[in-house]
Amino acid sequence: MTSGVLLVDKPQGVTSHDVVARARRILGTRKVGHAGTLDPMATGLLLLGVDSATRLLTYLVGLDKEYTATIRLGVATDTDDADGTPISEADASGVTDAAVAAGIAALTGELEQVPSSYSAIKVDGRRAYDLARAGEEVTLAARRVVIRSFELLATRRAGTAVELDVRVECSSGTYIRSLARDLGAGLGVGGHLTALRRTRVGPFRIDDAVTLPDPRHDPDAAAALDADAVLRDPADVASALFPVVRLDADATRDLAHGKRVELDAPDAETAAALTPEGRLAALVALRGGRARVLLGLPTSEVLP
C-alpha cells in the first residue's frame, strides 16, 4: 500500500463515512479521510486521502464543485430535499419557462446563501441537523457563495408539479438544496431537491472515479480493487493544483528536515516541491527565492 488520493463514485443511500469505512477495509489502513461530504441521497465524486496523502485533504476541501441535480417545484420540505417532510404545497403548473429562467439568473453570481437548517454546520458545538431533528429552532447565518454557472438542462411538467434538471458550477460551501429552496421560494411555489450528483471537484472528474464494493457483503472486495492502479500519486494531485518546483537532492533533504531552502522560482502562496525522482516532498510557500514548508510528506517517502 502506498499513499495517494482515491476518486470514488459514491452510491445513493450511503453516507460519506460509510464510503471511508469501505476504503479502510479494502485498503487495509485506518488512515483514510474525505475532502467534503455528500448527503446520503446524493451520488457522485468523493475524494479520499489514503495514508500520508490525508495531509493533502485540507487543500482539496475548498475546490470548486460541479453538480447535476433535479429540482421539483410545487413542494417545499423541511430539509429542502426529498428525504424531508413536505411543509407546503402549491400548484406550479402556471410557472412559465421565462419565470424559471429569470429565477435561475437571479441565483447566479455572488450570493448570500442561508444553508439548510438540516445541514452539518455546527451551532454551539452541535450539528444543525441534530438540533432540527430534536425540534429546536435553527437559525443559520447567511454565507457568501459563488454560483459560476446555473444551467437549465430540461423541464418536465406533470400535473401541478414541475421538475427541472440543472447543472451547477459553484464555490465550495454552496448548498444545492438551498438553491432548490430559494428558486422555488422566488417563484412563489416552493421547491426542493430530488436528485443530486457531484460530477467534478476542482480538476478531478467523475469519469475517472471508481465504485467501491462493500466488503461486508463481498469477500473478494479487497482483491477487486487494485490500489496501485487507482490511487492518484500525491505528486500528480499537487501538480494539478499548484505550480511545480523541482528540487535537487540537497534541497530535498533540507526540506524534509523543515529547513528553508533557496530556489530559483517565482513567488507563490503554494507550490508543489518535487524530488529528483518526481515524488512530492512538500507543499511550500515561495517568496524572494526562498521556500518555506507548508506541508511535508514523511521522510521515508521523499528521500532516495
Question: DSSP states of 157-181 as a string?
Answer: EETTEEEEEEEEEE-TT--HHHHHH
Secondary element (H or E) of residue 99: helix 97-106
On whether the CB atoms of residues 83 and 194 are closer than 8 A, the answer is no
The residue with cell 510557500 is 285
Catalytic machinery residues: 39
Residue 237 identity: V
Query: Could you say which DSSP state residue 196 is in?
Result: E
User: By C-alpha distance, which of 283, 262, 92 is closest to 183?
Assistant: 92
3-class state of residue 290 by DSSP: strand
Angle, in degrees to the nearest 10, between helices 97-106 and 176-186: 130
Question: Cell digits for 15?
Answer: 453516507
Composition of the chain by helix, strand, coil, percent to 5: 25, 35, 35
Question: Cell digits for 186?
Answer: 422566488
